[in-house]
């Protein structure tokens, strides 16, 4: 195994140091703690929106801290939840008197730590709301949708919540519109090769040479089925079919679509997948709004692709999605 690192134990902190050195205008370490990153500019009275999660998924989660998106992010070790103490630092940094929304993916460790952090914040009289993202349709059937994991759809959730807060909507308004957005967000992914944790040094799971895992999670959680390797068009068609079984898209509907590489998949391949997905939607008469193709939620050097949908028939969601944002890993220009 080859990794361009110095020492496995320094992987997370050295990544964070690099990001901080590259973006001192956008990010700062709260109280000098690299694991609690906050944006440099604060607006009095703005509802705070923070997130948190394990490392190994850049640009998720930290990469979306910045104007128009997140106020702070608690960073954990690779694939491990940050501590409640670090989350509390982020909550305090993001609180501008209007309370804070903790918006994060549905993973046991993250959920428990965020709940503990909000109990600690409550002792300091900071109002905290929780919104748990569970967009991965492959991780549980619809009747158990609460048990689904959060994956690349987190990006859409950050975008909507961050824009709403930036427009000075109240904590409850931001929370309401974000939950409405989540009803319109779904994701699914396929993986073709595994990832390697720096501190382990070899893949902890395997994917057959001519196989593809449908629905594998971003930590290598087993998917819903193992299939023989498929063509890009077949993959795009299959993923879109599964997504639109839950988010119906018909003629005249509007939606954004996000094609996300898991870490080792070239942009070329992502665009080949996008090509097919876009053609299917255009043929249906669906208007595609500002599609995103690139890396948003990765899994180290895992190869594979995920597809996320955000249905945007709702005028307010559309306006918030179009709202400008500027973060280290994502910039949205104001629309003309």
Binding site for other proteins (CB under 8 A): 76-77, 79-86, 108-109, 112-113, 115-116, 119, 197, 200, 204, 221-222
Query: Least CB distance from residue 86 to other proteins, whole Å?
Result: 7
Which of residues 116 and 272 has its CB atom nearest to other proteins in the complex?
116
Active site includes 57? yes
Phi, psi of 217 (to 5 degrees): -75, 170
Which of residues 121 and 293 has its CB atom nearest to other proteins in the complex?
121
Query: Least CB distance from residue 79 to other proteins, whole Å?
Result: 7
Query: Least CB distance from residue 284 to other proteins, whole Å?
Result: 35
Which of residues 109 and 294 has its CB atom nearest to other proteins in the complex?
109
The encoded tokens of residue 155 equal 């990006």
Q: Smallest Cα–Cα separation from 318: which of 282, 290, 297?
A: 290
Query: Least CB distance from residue 132 to other proteins, whole Å?
Result: 12
H-type helices in 192-333, by residue range? 232-244, 267-284, 315-322
Residue 293, SS3 per DSSP: strand
- Alpha-carbon distance of 91 to 145, in angstroms, equals 27
Residue 78, SS3 per DSSP: strand
- Identified catalytic residue from 7, 23, 57, 248: 57
Which of residues 115 and 269 has its CB atom nearest to other proteins in the complex?
115
Query: Least CB distance from residue 29 to other proteins, whole Å?
Result: 15
Which of residues 109 and 291 has its CB atom nearest to other proteins in the complex?
109
User: Is residue 250 within 8 Å of 281, Cβ to Cβ?
Assistant: no
- Identified catalytic residue from 7, 23, 130, 219: 219
Active site includes 323? no
- Alpha-carbon distance of 2 to 45, in angstroms, equals 48
Residue 224 CA neighbour count, 13 Å, CB half: 15
User: Is residue 174 within 8 Å of 49, Cβ to Cβ?
Assistant: yes
How far from 92 is each of 20, 74, 96, 101, 138, CA to CA, in Å?
A: 20, 12, 8, 11, 35
Active site residues: 57, 219
């Amino acid at each position: 195994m080859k990794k361009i690192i110095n020492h496995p134990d320094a992987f997370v902190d050295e990544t964070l140091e690099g990001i901080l050195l590259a973006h001192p205008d956008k990010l700062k370490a709260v109280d000098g703690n690299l694991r609690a990153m906050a944006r440099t500019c604060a607006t009095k009275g703005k509802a705070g929106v923070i997130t948190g999660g394990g490392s190994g998924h850049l640009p998720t989660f930290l990469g979306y801290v910045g104007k128009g998106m997140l106020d702070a992010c608690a960073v954990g070790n690779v694939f491990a939840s940050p501590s409640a103490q670090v989350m509390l630092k982020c909550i305090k940094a993001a609180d501008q008197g209007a309370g804070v929304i903790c918006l994060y993916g549905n993973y046991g460790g993250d959920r428990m730590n965020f709940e503990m952090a909000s109990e600690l914040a409550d002792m300091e009289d900071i109002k905290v709301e929780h919104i748990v993202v569970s967009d991965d349709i492959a991780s549980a059937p619809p009747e158990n949708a609460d048990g689904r994991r959060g994956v690349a759809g987190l990006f859409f959730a950050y975008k909507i919540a961050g824009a709403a807060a930036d427009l000075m909507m109240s904590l409850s308004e931001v929370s309401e519109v974000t939950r409405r957005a989540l009803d319109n967000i779904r994701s699914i992914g396929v993986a073709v090769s595994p990832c390697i944790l720096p501190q382990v040094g070899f893949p902890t799971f395997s994917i057959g040479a001519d196989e593809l895992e449908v629905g594998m999670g971003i930590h290598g959680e087993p998917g819903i089925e193992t299939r023989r390797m498929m063509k890009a068009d077949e993959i795009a068609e299959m993923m879109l079919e599964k997504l639109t079984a839950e988010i119906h898209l018909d003629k005249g509907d509007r939606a954004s679509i996000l094609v996300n590489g898991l870490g080792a998949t070239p942009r070329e391949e992502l665009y080949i997948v996008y090509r097919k997905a876009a053609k299917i939607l255009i043929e249906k008469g669906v208007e595609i709004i500002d599609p995103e193709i690139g890396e948003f939620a990765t899994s180290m050097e895992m190869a594979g692709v995920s597809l996320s949908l955000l249905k945007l028939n709702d005028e307010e969601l559309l306006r918030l999605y179009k709202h400008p944002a500027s973060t280290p890993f994502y910039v949205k220009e104001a629309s003309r």
